[in-house]
Amino acid sequence: MSEWFLLLLPLAAASGWWAALRGSQRSGGGGAPDPAYFRGLNYLLDDQPDKAIDVFVKLAEMDSETAEVQLALGGLFRRRGEVDRAIRIHQGLMARQDLPKALRALALQELALDYMRAGLLDRAERLFEELTQFRDQRRRALLSLIDIYQQEKDWRRCLETADRLQSFLGEPMGVAMAHYHCELAEEALRLGDDEGAAAALRDALATDAGCVRATLLQARLALDRGEADRAIHLFQRVGDQGPRFLPEILPGLLEAFRGRPPSDLLETLRALHRAHPNGALLLALADAVERIEGRPPAIRLLVEHVRGHADLAAVERLLELRELPLAAEGAEALEMLRALSRVVRHLRSHQPRYRCDHCGYVARRLHWQCPGCKHWASIHPVEASTLAERPANGSV
């Protein structure tokens, strides 16, 4: 059965109620619903949604009291992409003087959603602001206003509206508000306003002490100012805030240790990996081990890791480290190893680097706001899965 069946069910129910009511009124209380209703229902059951819609539209047009049916029709037209028709229906409802307050609020909300869908954000904003005066519509109206301001990248108004939502309704908005402060910080950095950026980042962490993005930006700012020790301290703090984001610190951490003894970096990487085991950290650690202690210890480190984790990046690095010693064993063995490397590299190229915990959206780069579900801080680096040990008897 088509998905239109599910979309049209509420409309068919509303039309059926109205048709039965009108039939009862015409016959003094015992009449049947209008036959057109059954015709529309048959079209719906036969998976002919366009014909069903035409019937229900005509039913709604026959009486000015069918506000519920018209609301359902307008919402259906919007979902079909026929926004102009939806706007006309909802504007017609708003023009009625006899519309009850609750239905007027619903019509106002639907019209605001129509305007949003049409890209008329200024009109939608005015209607949603009006809707905040209705207790039952306040939460959705404020969330819709935030959505508009996010599209317009008006982060200060996002903050103001999120604060209203939090104050009026107790909605926890700390995570989103911290990212609004981070957006303001990035704007300040682009304008060369380091002090403004630093202030915005302090506000972000005051709003959400676990905001990894704010700490990463603080570390970046410290590096730009030549404050390597502070940057290293901030990068290490990320491990306590969100260990899954540790891969994001590596480029900056390596930059902060530039010009220092390699053993200092090795010690820091080992400490971080002991506290927060992570595949990306292990690769950086293996590179440091190879430079300082040689190839065999780095190989042993990677072998131990891939025994317990399905980590293609670690396997690829292990094959690279094995390539040079294997060259002495003959061209055939070397070519086999290189073929395996190509296979692993191909598999890695199709492997998502980031995934949203909320909706499952996958990406090749980090987004602080998920492009799919619009949640903030829901996308994380994908970690290698742990390999379960096979029981001795071979059972699964």
| Structure-block tokens of residue 308 | 């317990």
Q: What does each of the 396 residues of the chain score in pLDDT, given as a tens digit?
A: 444 444 444 554 444 444 444 444 444 444 444 554 445 444 444 455 555 555 555 555 544 456 777 777 777 778 878 888 888 878 877 887 877 888 888 889 989 999 999 999 999 999 999 999 988 889 999 999 999 999 999 999 999 999 999 988 888 999 999 999 999 999 999 999 999 999 999 999 999 999 999 999 999 999 999 999 999 999 999 999 999 999 999 999 999 999 899 999 999 999 999 999 888 898 899 999 999 999 889 888 888 888 888 777 877 787 777 665 555 555 555 555 556 666 666 666 667 789 999 999 999 889 999 999 999 999 998 887 655 443 333 332
To the nearest 10 degrees (0 to 180), the angle between helices 279-293 and 262-275 is: 150
pLDDT at 9: 47
Is the pTM above the cut of 0.95?
no
Per residue in 199-227, is it b (16+ CB within 10 Å) or e — as a string? ebbebbbebbeebbbbbbbbbbbbbeeee
Q: Are 121 and 149 in contact (CB under 8 A)?
A: no
The DSSP output letter for 136 is G
pLDDT at 185: 98
Distance CA 229, CA 253 (A): 10
Distance CA 111, CA 157 (A): 22
Question: Torsion over CA of 110, 114, 119 and 125, rounded to 10 degrees?
Answer: -20
Distance CA 72, CA 17 (A): 13
Which amino acid type is present at position 124?
A
234: exposed, middle or buried (Cβ count in 10 Å: 0-12, 13-18, 19+):
buried
